[in-house]
Structure 1
Amino acid sequence: MPSQLGIQAGENGVKAGGCCTPKQDQIPQKMSVPPTKVLPIIFLPGIMGSNLRMSAKRQALLTKSNNIAWRPDRTGEALAMVNATAARRQLQLDPWETEVDIYDPATNSTGNSKESAAQRHDLGTIRVSLNPEGKSPLLTDDPVGAPNPKTKEMKAKERGWGEVYFGSYRGILEICEIALNHSWLQSSWGRIFKTDPGEWGAVSSPAVKALLEKEHKEAIKGCWFPVHAMGYNWLQSNGESAKILSRRIRDLIEKYIEQKYQCEKVILITHSMGGLVARALIHPQIGGLESVVLGIVHGVMPANGAPAAYKRMRCGFEESFGGLDPAPKVLGNFGSEVTAVLGNSQGGLELLPNKVYGNGWLEVRQNGVLLHSLPKGNNPYSEIYRLPGKWFNLLREDWLNPARVRGAGFKRTCDLLQGAEEFHDAIRDTYHPLSYAHYGADPSRASWERVVWNLDKSRSSANWQDLLIASDNGHGVLELSTTGEASEVNISFSIDGIAAAPVSIPGALGVSLGKSSGAGDQTVPLRSAENQLRSGKFKGIFQQRGYEHQASYSDNNAVQSTLYSLSRIIAIMKWSGNA
């Protein structure tokens, strides 16, 4: 007699069972067997996109009630830093006294006896509704009566969603979890199938074709795609972060194998600095994970660095997100505040333009006439970053160590810059052979392609290179003199038409920061991002418009090109054995 089949999740995997039906019953019996293969999707955030906690020693020094060093989703913490001194910022965001704030319910490492890890990593309601049949690794509530049942919110915490800037990244995490794991056609895919990728900014070469529904369904058949997030300490070198994440990714694969799934590779999605970490992850002498990473989707990566990093260390952050993003105000509105943090952070210094970015991005002009530009020999490290005693160099030595930390200062920062140079050289040509990228190429999003210092047009500039800083408002207005001393004569300046505080030096030479220019996303200029195109190593490139850097994954074109790229990468997967 035909048998009535069913399935159940056993301790050692999925088991089939059934019962007999009358011989007359000729209706075919069907059994839905859930996949046993898992291909994790891992999201790597950008700078300031990973939550950090500080050591107990540093917490005590700062007399904080918890150990939060950086958690932009926590409004109270962000507001407390807005008016913090440069010294406070240096101590709270110290790469030697911080680590990723990983969800750890066993030890409840919050630095606050009244706050559990679950409370610290609370994400609210996860906007994912998945109801797979049988056992799955997805974000679903366990059925009532299951042993040690977990909600989807609890599972999201275990996936690392609470260790990243959730307010900024939740959209892309939830969209990927839903879109890749639903068994029916979703509206997100309906806008992708048969659509010319040129609508999302795809360049003509490398050519990419429209995705067909049957291609996608064949690619995802028989596999789960759980979405994870992994933070990293963005204050430390991206090379060190890659080594740590390499171990975490291998442990994740092993965890799925222990749960009786076939798990062999992962796919990475990155935002901004996360792309540099991903490149280090696959580098054979750093992370060594190229054989484990099936492919990478890079979003708004500063492939060759960004002059905005120089500008912000000298003149502070600009407003972003329409003023709603707390990160710029917390990192610093003034150069002294930003330098106190990034000047002691190798990770931050690794966002500076590298040798491949090219010459001439730092300019000195008077009356529109170019007087000088740097670098000239494709080495910004020696020509700008480690250059001492020049008013136009990167480092204001008196801004580096406001907290008077032992060992901090110009020499240590130069050592960090040496490490940044070595990191840049190491990953210079490192891209995964199965890479896709999207980035801003918007002419209306001026992105500091170059930084311009304008000399006061009414004064002599014959000896401008040898002058000393007499006054610096930390926001792009300087006064230079032969002695480096100020006096009592008021001279007013403006930045982009906005009046700045007057400074006063008779016979001194005024300098002001020029306007941002160059297509991009307001942070990463096209000149840097398009190195991915020039490399010739990518399977698809999407040059896009309409979004600001941090908000890129809130843009429909960025999301749709990401889903398209994921489907194309998944289709390449070749599983070992017959499982």
Structure 2
Amino acid sequence: MSNEPAKQLKIQLDKQGRPITHTYLTESSDTQRCEVRIKDRVVPILFVPGIMGSNLKYRDVWSGQETPILLSDEKELANAEVDDSWQPPSSALEILSALIFGLFRTKEERRREINPDVAFVDWESNKIRPLPKRMVYTDRKIAMSSPDNDHEGDVAQEKNSAKEPFQEGESLTEAQKIAQEARMRGWGTVYQGSYVPFLVFLEDTLNDIPACNTEEEYKQVIEKNKVWKKLLPLFQSGSKQSIGAKGDENGSLENTEQLARWLQSAADCEFRVYACGYNWLRDNQESGNGYSNDSIEYFEVKSEKGINKKYGFSDLNSRIKKILKECQQTDSKCNEVIVLTHSMGGLVGRAYAKEQGGSSLSGIYHNVMPATGAPAFYKRLKAGFGGENIVTTIASPIFGYSAERVTPVLLNSIGALELMPWIDYKVLSDNTNRWLRVAEKATPKTIKFSFSTEDLIQNSDAWYSLLPKLYHNGQLQYQKAKLNNNKSRWEEADPRINPGG
């Protein structure tokens, strides 16, 4: 028998969720040992993105119609053309195309296409890239969906059509199988450029924990792995301050021992990473707990011609229930999900936790959740995207470079409106919350004006008003903004700012 380490065989799941593998008989002279490592515990991790981080499609209820098709007219609605509503570009070519398209996209087109009444979560259109290396795929899922044509393989071109679901028994490459598994886990519902690399990192890192025999061996794993070394500062014992807690990635011996014990317990777990793209145009309460029966989201799942019929509902509550049911086919004791949120996704997660309780949550981690609103909402609605840095300036034609282009989207989105800073946003010790400050660029520390949320909403005659009076005696107002008392000097308002201010 060979003294070489056993070759790890890749496993997949059958229709019942049981792990299986494939291998070949060899000549008796080949003494290479093979090993199948079965993980008996499943830990699902569900990621919820921020606003505009979920891909959307829409039904063109206006095309060729004098009046829009009613959502209650299921027959006509089913025949309405489906097109992209919100698809953030990922590649350089996609970005260039989106920039050109965005420049010529009218505000009326934006209002019709990015509209909560007709837009719904898109599971399929974006390519899954890059692909994870450690993902375990499931046969039954592949049979439900059309093959992913992002990657080269031996599947005939006609089999790559989304209109013809892939049938079990047809040939797929390994890459296509993994891409389909990722798609069924919701990876196609989120912005590929920002989020998919993070999902790949989680999937591959957490499922690459080696099976060691002793704690000392796991300490060696930590020493050789940059990711685990960076986690050392998080492992502290009670209130005791350790070297690692101060930012030294080598950490203390105690931190290393704790992480080694965690790795030892996690090595027997299969971590399944999912993504929950949601309809950020709708109320976060709906996205967290379920879309109403008269919504386009409901139609796309329940209608015979619904685009998302094979995927199911996209709200967080429905996704968690489906994920747990799926994971329990492999691990009957899997009753909880770890939820990770980014930005507005935290409002979705918070709405779910408040309504459903925490019985299905192992934990929920919010990253930059706008708990009481986000000042960026004011800036976007008042002056559009861009201006903060080179990245947002380049992307502004895609997202909307002026208030005129952004307003039809944001004011039609309940979810976006819920990002407006609340009255109690950044309340200071003196009970004031004048969080918006205006200063000269040359002297940024010298504050000329400061405003609270109430100021921005109530003073509709002021240049800084979020809701200015656009008309006076039937005439549209365009005013210049006077920013100081020097009558000989006027600061002209940025032309992107809302009329009236």
Question: What's the TM-score bracket when you normalise by the shorter of the two chains?
Answer: 0.5 to 0.7
Q: Is the 8 A contact 1:95 1:235 kept in 2?
A: yes
Q: Residue 192 in 1 paired to residue 196 in 2?
A: no
Question: 1:47 maps to what in 2?
Answer: 51
Q: Is the 8 A contact 2:190 2:275 kept in 1?
A: yes
Aligned residues between the structures: 365
Q: 1:134 to 1:318 in 2, by over 3 A?
A: closer
Q: 1:198 to 1:227 in 2, by over 3 A?
A: farther
Q: Is the 8 A contact 1:193 1:211 kept in 2?
A: no
Q: Is the 8 A contact 1:129 1:178 kept in 2?
A: yes
Residue 52 of structure 1 deviates from its aligned partner by 0.6
Q: Residue 222 in 1 paired to residue 268 in 2?
A: yes
Residue 252 of structure 1, aligned match among 323, 334, 347: 323
Question: 2:487 maps to what in 1?
Answer: 459
Residue 157 of structure 1 deviates from its aligned partner by 1.1
Q: Is the 8 A contact 2:462 2:468 kept in 1?
A: no
Residue 71 of structure 1, aligned match among 87, 98, 115: 87
Deviations 1:390-445 (A, max 9, x none): 4432124659xxxxxxxxxxxxxxxxxxxxxxxxxxxxxxxxxxxxxxxxxxxxxx
Residue 240 of structure 1, aligned match among 276, 286, 289: 286
The CA RMSD measured in Å over matched residues stands at 4.4
SS at match of 2:365: strand
How far apart are the structure 2 equivalents of 1:371 and 1:125? 48
Q: 1:131 to 1:95 in 2, by over 3 A?
A: closer
Deviations 1:137-184 (A, max 9, x none): 9xxx9xxxx967661111111111111111111221111001111132
Question: 1:485 maps to what in 2?
Answer: none
1:224-303 equivalences under 5 Å are 224-243=270-289, 244-258=315-329, 261-284=332-355, 288-303=356-371
SS at match of 1:283: helix
Q: Is the 8 A contact 2:469 2:500 kept in 1?
A: no
Q: Is the 8 A contact 2:42 2:330 kept in 1?
A: no
Residue 200 of structure 1 deviates from its aligned partner by 8.9
Q: Residue 356 in 1 paired to residue 424 in 2?
A: yes
Q: 1:155 to 1:239 in 2, by over 3 A?
A: same
How far apart are the structure 2 equivalents of 1:41 and 1:456? 53
1:277-426 equivalences under 5 Å are 277-284=348-355, 288-319=356-387, 322-323=390-391, 327-357=395-425, 358=427, 359-363=433-437, 373-375=450-452, 380=453, 383-385=455-457, 388-396=460-468, 398=470
Q: Is the 8 A contact 1:54 1:98 kept in 2?
A: yes
How far apart are the structure 1 equivalents of 2:201 and 2:119? 31
Residue 279 of structure 1 deviates from its aligned partner by 1.4
SS at match of 1:455: coil
Letter in 1 for 2:185: R
How far apart are the structure 2 equivalents of 1:229 and 1:154? 14
Letter in 2 for 1:164: V
Deviations 1:482-533 (A, max 9, x none): xxxxxxxxxxxxxxxxxxxxxxxxxxxxxxxxxxxxxxxxxxxxxxxxxxxx
Q: Is the 8 A contact 1:316 1:474 kept in 2?
A: no
Q: Is the 8 A contact 1:94 1:344 kept in 2?
A: yes
Q: Is the 8 A contact 2:373 2:420 kept in 1?
A: yes
Q: Is the 8 A contact 2:381 2:403 kept in 1?
A: yes
Q: 1:263 to 1:333 in 2, by over 3 A?
A: same
Q: Is the 8 A contact 1:472 1:478 kept in 2?
A: no
Q: Residue 178 in 1 paired to residue 204 in 2?
A: yes
TM-score normalized by structure 2?
0.61
SS at match of 1:170: helix
Letter in 2 for 1:241: S
Letter in 2 for 1:187: N
Q: Is the 8 A contact 1:82 1:329 kept in 2?
A: yes
Residue 38 of structure 1 deviates from its aligned partner by 1.5
Gaps of 5+ in 2: 1-8, 21-32, 69-79, 142-150, 152-167, 211-220, 234-243, 290-314, 428-432, 472-480
SS at match of 1:39: strand
Q: Is the 8 A contact 1:125 1:153 kept in 2?
A: no
Residue 186 of structure 2, aligned match among 156, 160, 164: 160
Q: Is the 8 A contact 1:360 1:373 kept in 2?
A: yes
Q: 1:133 to 1:390 in 2, by over 3 A?
A: closer
Gaps of 5+ in 1: 1-5, 17-28, 104-119, 202-207, 400-452, 465-470, 481-579
Letter in 2 for 1:267: I
Question: 1:116 maps to what in 2?
Answer: none
Q: 1:290 to 1:132 in 2, by over 3 A?
A: closer
SS at match of 1:355: coil
Q: Residue 84 in 1 paired to residue 112 in 2?
A: no
Deviations 1:250-309 (A, max 9, x none): 12211222456542111112221112211112113xxx1422111122223223222221
1:521-540 equivalences under 5 Å are none
Q: Is the 8 A contact 2:121 2:279 kept in 1?
A: yes
Q: 1:8 to 1:362 in 2, by over 3 A?
A: closer
How far apart are the structure 1 equivalents of 2:137 and 2:438? 65
Deviations 1:335-380 (A, max 9, x none): 22222211221211222211331221235789998786443xxxx3
Q: Is the 8 A contact 2:44 2:327 kept in 1?
A: no
Residue 476 of structure 1 deviates from its aligned partner by 4.9
Residue 384 of structure 1 deviates from its aligned partner by 3.0
Determine what percentage of the aligned residue pairs are the same residue: 29
Q: Is the 8 A contact 2:13 2:136 kept in 1?
A: no
Q: Is the 8 A contact 2:14 2:140 kept in 1?
A: no
Q: 1:47 to 1:38 in 2, by over 3 A?
A: same
SS at match of 2:328: helix
Residue 121 of structure 1, aligned match among 115, 119, 126: 126
SS at match of 2:230: coil
Residue 454 of structure 1 deviates from its aligned partner by 6.5
Q: Is the 8 A contact 2:14 2:138 kept in 1?
A: no
Deviations 1:221-264 (A, max 9, x none): 42211111111111222111111211121122112224565421
Q: 1:71 to 1:360 in 2, by over 3 A?
A: same
Residue 324 of structure 1 deviates from its aligned partner by 7.3
Q: Is the 8 A contact 2:374 2:419 kept in 1?
A: yes
How far apart are the structure 2 equivalents of 1:162 and 1:178? 18
Question: 1:205 maps to what in 2?
Answer: none
Q: Is the 8 A contact 1:38 1:261 kept in 2?
A: no
Residue 60 of structure 1 deviates from its aligned partner by 6.0
- Structure ranking higher in strand proportion: 1
Q: Is the 8 A contact 2:121 2:189 kept in 1?
A: yes
Q: Is the 8 A contact 2:372 2:421 kept in 1?
A: yes
